[in-house]
Amino acid sequence: MKNKYDILIIGGVAAGTSAAASALRENPSLNVAIFQKEPYISYGGCGLPYVLNGKVKEVDDLFAFTSEKFQEKKGAEVYTNYEAIDVDFEQKYVLVKGNMDRRKIFYDKLIISTGASPIIPKFDVWGQEGIFKMRNPSDDEEILNFIEKNKPSHATIIGGGFIGVEVAEVLIESGIKVTLIEAKENILGDIEPEIHDEFSEYMIKNGVDLKTESMVENILKKERFIVKTEKESIETDMIIISIGVKPNTDFLLNKNVNMLKNKAIIVDNYMRTNIEDVYAAGDCATAYNILSGEDEYIPLGTTSNKQGKIAGKNAVKGNVEEFKGVIGSLITKFLDMEYAKTGLTYEKAKELDYNVGSVYIKAKARAGYYENAGNISFKMIFDRSTGKILGGHFVGKEIHSRVNIIVSLIYSCGTVQELYNMDLPYSPPFSPVWDITLIAASKAMKKVK
Amino acid sequence: MKNKYDILIIGGVAAGTSAAASALRENPSLNVAIFQKEPYISYGGCGLPYVLNGKVKEVDDLFAFTSEKFQEKKGAEVYTNYEAIDVDFEQKYVLVKGNMDRRKIFYDKLIISTGASPIIPKFDVWGQEGIFKMRNPSDDEEILNFIEKNKPSHATIIGGGFIGVEVAEVLIESGIKVTLIEAKENILGDIEPEIHDEFSEYMIKNGVDLKTESMVENILKKERFIVKTEKESIETDMIIISIGVKPNTDFLLNKNVNMLKNKAIIVDNYMRTNIEDVYAAGDCATAYNILSGEDEYIPLGTTSNKQGKIAGKNAVKGNVEEFKGVIGSLITKFLDMEYAKTGLTYEKAKELDYNVGSVYIKAKARAGYYENAGNISFKMIFDRSTGKILGGHFVGKEIHSRVNIIVSLIYSCGTVQELYNMDLPYSPPFSPVWDITLIAASKAMKKVK
């Protein structure tokens, strides 16, 4: 371990490892080090729920690299079990704390990629066996061990975001009854109401006891856990908390780093913070939303990878590559029901002063006469003055191929007329002769003036 | 039956029924009639192969409408078993021949949507039991009856286009051994060589005896059929001919209708022929290729539907809607291997004087650690001077969601840089964190100057 690096990277999951690899691709002779709080680096956090139902065979499969392998292949030094606890931007060092030591590590350029941690409400039971979060590979291991040992018949998930829904899926598939509690009136964040209703009805029909507008007030532990909302008490064998994440930026507080209210580090398109020679990337940082024009907190694996890569490159070469921003594209599934969105919701588009229009279409994913032709519902948001497509919201089967069209068109400022004109490839196993996106375009065109 | 119609439509499958419905949507008080050579109208021709393996349960499922139902729902008169045998553009009538009668039917506007027929080579055996085409619902019925009665162990498909490949799939699935004979050096028409090799190797591995660069010289019938190419003799129990189609335009010859060499009617973007008040649409007509700038013959179900709809509308309202053209998007599958293309091949792009570049990428369809993560190979064609994306060629799993991105970008003149910047929705069951299209864009960017 040196006491100074050309490029010092704090945090080594998606953004940090991408940054290190990218920096060393630009200039392999640089001294680059990653300091990582946890004992491992570089894992696919989005795959964590799927270890529980065996869609991912072993937790180990989630690791892209061990520290040793990463060091060997990419050329960056990796120090695990080192947490950043302080920083001095004047003298340009980070104070890191290991198991036995504290050191000042100086830098020429600093990349902060410390990620985010689950928000854990302050209940006394936290820390007891049977109450979990879902953020790190160790969480999977603990949950699997608990299930094996205790054969729980009922689990309660607190928080109905993407992780909550995915954990509900994998527990239901493992034969465990699930109650999902969400404080807001809907699950899955900013979602169109029609789409939400279809998706949540499917979840309920498939065994999830869904309680929206339910705030957990307390959790007690007797024989079983008792989760108390203002409306009721739910007895349960295990609890998974997934109410959201907060950026790991405590060591930066009072250091004049520009942050959002939630303490996400505000970065520009070059991944620069407001502090000279300091970049940030991934779940600890903001992402520029092209459609809203705002720096937002949308922590996602793809964004982390891209931002990390750009931060690494720019730290070496000066500011040569821009992160163009996101539009809030998301996809997930619950058993055989998929949900995807991209761009704006109707409400958000109204807020942004568009002359908003929408169409809501139901159609088959394949030719109606072809085997297993599933249903799709699609709500498209567009500007009625220009025809510009602003958002796409899907629920149903085989929607990945449809949402990707809308992503592409939003990026190219495409209109409903342009969508209608597109020569989409067609064959009965893949789509009806009029794809749902074309039907939507046709209906939307009539509303554009 | 009247002797004059406001809008007379000759041919009532995809384009003809679309035209009739669209014309009557514009003005329900018009007299619109469809004359159709076959005893039925409005069927999904692209689904025909899948009746053979039961992915479509019954031939009847392919029919969107019976004549009676169409008449009742859409308001057009339908006369089946009437073939157009002559036309007089001066006096504005079509001579139609029914089972018992011939009549002159006068028109105000004429829409020709007679479709196309399989090209059948002149072998003496044609017409004997056991030798088929694959174009009409009756072909399905004949093949199914033959298979049931004769339990053939081996079939020979002559012609390796999309229909040939799809028929190979369904016969293999029905437990029949298949030899597929193709005169050219590759199957599936204009295809990138790497993509072709992967797809055809998969077909061979899954039981298809594939013979490319093989011209059938003769077919004899003894106990079994004997198919003779210049290289060999193949004994077989049944034969399906799928070497392509030709437009049904014989009744228009020597009438000064502008046609391609293959007798496809040349139409403009309003679906007008060169004859006043005469429109054409669907498999008997050309489609404008946006990328080549040429009127081409690419008979496909989606195009037929769109062109028919536009022809019907324009025949009523004057020329208000344009068909913007196609880019040659196609998708099909053989068992678990999918093939899709859109836009130009490398060779075609060179012909068109682009400064052509390409990248060829292999990646997983899902996160590598997620269950059943299949392989995709992707060849992207682009212009090295501008970065403009010109073509996308895919083979593998879950490629529909990828080819649709490339279609969208070609329509919006998108570049590889723009593709790279896109916020595609990501989740392990749907894609790796770096989707294959983004990896391709990243590699392509390095070749753009």
Q: What is the CATH number of the domain that holds B76?
A: 3.50.50.60
Same domain for B133 and B237? yes
Under the banding of pLDDT at 50, 70 and 90, the label for residue A449 is: confident
Cα of A152 to nearest chain B Cα, Å: 25
As a whole-number percent, the residues of chain B with pLDDT over 90 amount to: 96
Count of Cβ atoms closer than 10 Å to residue B89 Cβ: 17
pLDDT score for A123: 87
DSSP assignment, residue B326?
B
Does residue B158 lie within any of the structural domains? Answer: yes
- List, for residues B27-85, the tens digit of each pLDDT value: 999 999 999 999 999 888 899 999 999 999 999 999 988 899 999 999 999 999 999 99
Q: Which two tokens stand for residue B3?
A: 């002797």
Cβ–Cβ under 8 Å, residues B245 and B118: yes
Contact between chains at A333 and B429 (C-beta distance less than 8 A): yes
Q: Look at phi and psi of residue A254 and say left if phi exceeds 0, alpha if psi is from -120 to 50, else beta.
A: left
Under the banding of pLDDT at 50, 70 and 90, the label for residue A427 is: very high
Same domain for A15 and A108? yes
**Residue with structure tokens 């993407």?**
A162
CATH number of the CATH domain containing B424:
3.30.390.30
Q: Domain end: A198, A215, A241, which one?
A: A241
- Coil, helix or strand at residue B353: coil
- List, for residues A191-205, the tens digit of each pLDDT value: 999 999 999 999 999
Same domain for B166 and B258? no
Residue B185 touches partner A, C-beta closer than 8 Å: no
Does residue A330 lie within any of the structural domains? Answer: no
- List, for residues A295-315, the tens digit of each pLDDT value: 999 999 999 999 999 999 999
- Coil, helix or strand at residue B208: strand
Cβ burial A160-179 (10 Å sphere, 16+ → b, else e): bbbbbbbbbbbbbbbebbbb
Which residues of chain A does B303 touch, with a Cβ-Cβ cutoff of 8 Å?
423
Same domain for A112 and A249? yes
Does residue A181 lie within any of the structural domains? Answer: yes
Spatial separation of the C-alpha atoms in residues B329 and B341, rounded to whole Å: 6
Cβ–Cβ under 8 Å, residues B380 and B406: yes
Which residues of chain B does A269 touch, with a Cβ-Cβ cutoff of 8 Å?
none
pLDDT score for A318: 94
Cα of A105 to nearest chain B Cα, Å: 31
**Residue with structure tokens 């995807």?**
A340
Residue B412 touches partner A, C-beta closer than 8 Å: yes
Same domain for A424 and A344? yes
Spatial separation of the C-alpha atoms in residues B421 and B416, rounded to whole Å: 9
Same domain for A22 and A97? yes
Provide mean pLDDT across the span A325-347. 97
Does residue B331 lie within any of the structural domains? Answer: no
Which residues of chain A does B430 touch, with a Cβ-Cβ cutoff of 8 Å?
331, 333, 400
Cβ–Cβ under 8 Å, residues A235 and A225: yes
Distances (CA, A) of B16 to A340, B46, B230: 36, 16, 42
Spatial separation of the C-alpha atoms in residues A290 and A270, rounded to whole Å: 15
| Residue to test with chain B: of A369, A389, A402, A446, most B Cβ within 10 A | A369
By C-alpha distance, the chain A residue nearest B289 is A423
Same domain for A132 and A196? yes
By C-alpha distance, the chain A residue nearest B401 is A401
Under the banding of pLDDT at 50, 70 and 90, the label for residue A54 is: very high
Same domain for B148 and B231? yes
Q: Domain end: B317, B351, B371, which one?
A: B317
| pLDDT exceeds cutoff 90 at A127 | no
Number of domains composing chain A: 3
- List, for residues A216-240, the tens digit of each pLDDT value: 999 999 999 999 999 999 999 999 9
Provide the CA B18 distance to its chain's centre, in angstroms.
17
Residue A331 touches partner B, C-beta closer than 8 Å: yes
Under the banding of pLDDT at 50, 70 and 90, the label for residue A138 is: very high
Does residue B195 lie within any of the structural domains? Answer: yes
Same domain for A109 and A18? yes
Does residue B299 lie within any of the structural domains? Answer: yes
Does residue B330 lie within any of the structural domains? Answer: no
Does residue A52 lie within any of the structural domains? Answer: yes
| pLDDT exceeds cutoff 90 at B271 | yes
Residue B333 touches partner A, C-beta closer than 8 Å: yes
Closest in B404, B407, B425 to A342, CB measured: B425
pLDDT score for A402: 98
| pLDDT exceeds cutoff 90 at B343 | yes
Provide the residue range defining the domain that includes A173.
120-241
pLDDT score for B2: 93
Give the H or E element holding residue B157. Answer: strand B154-158
By C-alpha distance, the chain A residue nearest B51 is A370
Contact between chains at B56 and A303 (C-beta distance less than 8 A): no
Q: In whole angstroms, how large is the CA radius of gyration of chain B?
A: 23
Same domain for A66 and A178? no
Q: Domain end: A241, A267, A295, which one?
A: A241
Same domain for A307 and A348? no
Q: Which amino acid is at A167?
A: V
Least confident of A11-25, A40-54, A79-93, B205-219: A40-54
- List, for residues B127-178, the tens digit of each pLDDT value: 899 999 999 999 999 999 999 999 999 999 999 999 999 999 999 999 999 9
Which residues of chain A does B401 touch, with a Cβ-Cβ cutoff of 8 Å?
400-401, 404
CB within 8 Å of A365: residues ≥ 6 apart: A373, A374, A375, A376, A396, A397, A398, A399, A431, A436
Cα of A254 to nearest chain B Cα, Å: 33
> Which of A 258-317 lie inside 8 A of B, CB atoms?
300-303, 305
ipTM score for this prediction: 0.95
Spatial separation of the C-alpha atoms in residues B291 and B293, rounded to whole Å: 6
By C-alpha distance, the chain B residue nearest A298 is B423
Average pLDDT, chain A: 96
> Which of A 344-383 lie inside 8 A of B, CB atoms?
367, 369-371
Which residues of chain B does A47 touch, with a Cβ-Cβ cutoff of 8 Å?
367, 369-370, 428
Give the H or E element holding residue B52. Answer: helix B49-52
Residue A326 touches partner B, C-beta closer than 8 Å: yes
Same domain for B128 and B225? yes
pLDDT score for A64: 87
| pLDDT exceeds cutoff 90 at A166 | yes
pLDDT score for B42: 86
- E runs forming strands in B201-289: 208-211, 216-221, 225-229, 233-236, 238-241, 245-247, 278-280, 287-289
